A and B are shown apart, each in its own frame.
Chain A
Amino acid sequence: MGMTPAIDMTTALGPLTLASPLVTASGAFGYGMEYFGAVDYSKLGAVTAKGIRIDPWPGNPMPRHAEVPGGIVNAIGLQGTGVAHFLERTLPFYSIRVLRPLGRPLPLIANIWGGSVEEYAEVAKRISEGAGGVVSALEMNVSCPNVKSGGHTFGQDPSVLFNVVSAVRKATTLPLLVKLAPNVQSIAPYVKACEDAGADALSMINTIPAMVIDVERRKPAIANVTGGLSGRAVHPVAVKTVFDARKATKLPILAMGGVYSARDAIEFFLAGADAVAIGSAMFSDPSVVAKTYDGIADYCARHGFGSVRELKGALEV
């Protein structure tokens, strides 16, 4: 795989240009710097930071996760230190620990969430005004299954979704992604709501609501009782969601859910994705980034594609 012919690996999520089609998924990569040293950053197109809210948020009690066959059920609960800390402390650290040694820009996508439409708009505004060019795009989390007063409530009704995306759209000129849940009757009305509200791209999927029971203790394995399933098991669900969304829109799609290999990523491209994010796979194998990147380039070469962008829509149904 070392002698990969020159494949054009650039892609775009609307106005956001990516040097690689691989991105990290929010929640799986901290604030972009924690894995430095173990991940080949040269093969990433962007990193997505963990969810950011106006004020600090404690997250859920322990235990916060359970390993299951083919994945992880987690209920971290969006623990975070708030937007001020993100802007004043986290971003400078990201510049020093990642951008400086890397010697080139690496787009940072800030994932945002809130408990109300106003909070979503406010955090978007604060980051747009205060990130000093380090944040390249925003990703709205409207689909976290683990926080009651935010997250998924905005992503389970297309008219509510339209309102919150519209409010954030007015609050920022940064490229705007909206991260959708797979557990809806049909993805099309949600896609349409985001499109109508002015989103630049869509992210999908978030984790799938799930539960694990410790039968010995006859108690839920996670303190939050329920959580969200990620990992290998969700991949076919995610592929179908991307496939359905692609039929409903021309908006760029950042696809995620169970990418452990180039094969998994290529499925997403063929289903209609423009870029692919890696989440849970990072936990078991940080070298998944380099392996997936090389594998995609190798696949393109073997199948006569000069650019990764040509894979999009190359599915024969």
Chain B
Amino acid sequence: MIEEIARVEEHEDEGNGYRRLVLSAPSVAADAAPGQFVHIKVPSLEESALRRPFSIFDAGDGIVTVLYKTVGRGTAALASVRKGEEVSVLGPLGRGFPAKCSGTALLVGGGYGVAPLYFLARKLDCPKILFVGGRSAPDVLALRDFEKIGVEARVATNDGSLGGKGFVTLPLDEETKRLRETGGKFEFFTCGPDGLLRAVSERALALGVPGWISMDRHMICGVGACYACVQKTVRGYSRCCIEGPVFPAEDLVWE
């Protein structure tokens, strides 16, 4: 983990409040693993503002990319950062996804929760299927990126504007049923809203297969020092920034 001053190479509007930030950050990129995150100091906020954590969408060749949604004051301010500007990046941080999968990797993303799944899909050397959900068509992100690396995507939206209508757990359940009938092994890898994470965790436990759950929590330090971003686990309150953000499903305690 280091603090690196990164140059903004690209900052694209992906519509509906989503943005893609491409940073030149060779040291962070070289160390990054799927599921890890970067803690970014938003330049246009006041000097004392807290950093904001973002999943690493992709890393390699000196570049770190994040995919985010403007949801609050920090991300709204980040959205105004222009190409050529510099931002301070702390990273790579956290414990990410495992580097191996036995059987088929079922990647389950909701909204901008697909972000860490792309880097994971690129690195995992096994069959994989992406299950991606969102409220509406514009909330389904990065489909083209997954397509380019040959990952099949099954889409569901709450309003049915893209893919099947309903939760992404519908196509997911169809696939796990099929895999079980054919005796195929599989593991879950997921990131998104808590409701989705909980639903996937419950499926992993019920089916007795590994589930790797990436928690999204407001953070302060991002490095394990302050104990603000905790999640209840079988060990008590665990820090999402350093003991996570990826937890095995059996560790999580949902309230």
Contacts and interface: CB of A to CB of B under 8 A. Distances in A.
Interface stretch (B128-136, B175-183, B224-232): B224-232
Interface stretch (A154-162, A206-214, A278-286): A278-286
A281 B46 CA distance: 12
B81 interface: no
A236 interface: no
B228 A281 contact: no
Interface string A21-38: 000000111100011011
Given A27-B226, A29-B225, A79-B230, A37 B49 contact: no
Interface residues of B, number: 28
Contact of B220 (A59, A70, A232, A283): A283
B223 A65 contact: no
A34 B218 contact: no
Interface in B34-65: 41, 46-51
Contacts of B218: 63, 65
Contacts of A34: 221, 223-225, 242
Contacts, number: 88
Given A27-B226, A59-B230, A64-B230, A281 B48 contact: yes
B2 interface: yes
Contact of B221 (A64, A69, A231, A282): A282
B47 A286 contact: no
* Most chain A CB neighbours (cut-off 10 Å) among B90, B224, B226: B226
A50 B227 contact: yes
Contacts of A276: none
Nearest to A59: B237
Interface residues of A, number: 35
B224 A284 contact: no
Contacts of B236: 56, 58, 79
B1 A72 contact: no
A30 B237 contact: no
A79 B237 contact: yes
A248 interface: no
A70 B45 CA distance: 11
Nearest to A232: B48
A71 interface: yes
Contacts of B88: 285
Contacts of B242: 34
Contact of A284 (B2, B51, B227, B237): B51
Contacts of A65: 218, 220, 228
A55 interface: no
Contacts of B250: none
A34 B225 CA distance: 6
B221 A283 contact: yes
A30 to B, nearest CB: 4
A286 B41 CA distance: 11
Given A38-B2, A59-B237, A286 B90 contact: yes
A86 interface: no
A292 interface: no
B9 interface: no
Interface of A: 27-30, 34-35, 37-38, 50, 56, 58-59, 62-65, 67, 69-72, 74, 76, 79, 231-232, 260, 280-287
12 contacts: A27-B226, A28-B221, A30-B224, A38-B3, A64-B230, A67-B49, A72-B50, A74-B220, A76-B227, A284-B41, A286-B3, A286-B90
Given A38-B2, A232-B48, 13 more contacts: A28-B221, A30-B221, A56-B236, A59-B227, A59-B230, A64-B227, A71-B48, A72-B220, A76-B226, A280-B48, A281-B48, A284-B48, A284-B51
List the 7 closest pairs (A to B, CB-CB), nearest first.
A30-B225, A34-B225, A34-B224, A232-B48, A65-B228, A34-B223, A38-B3
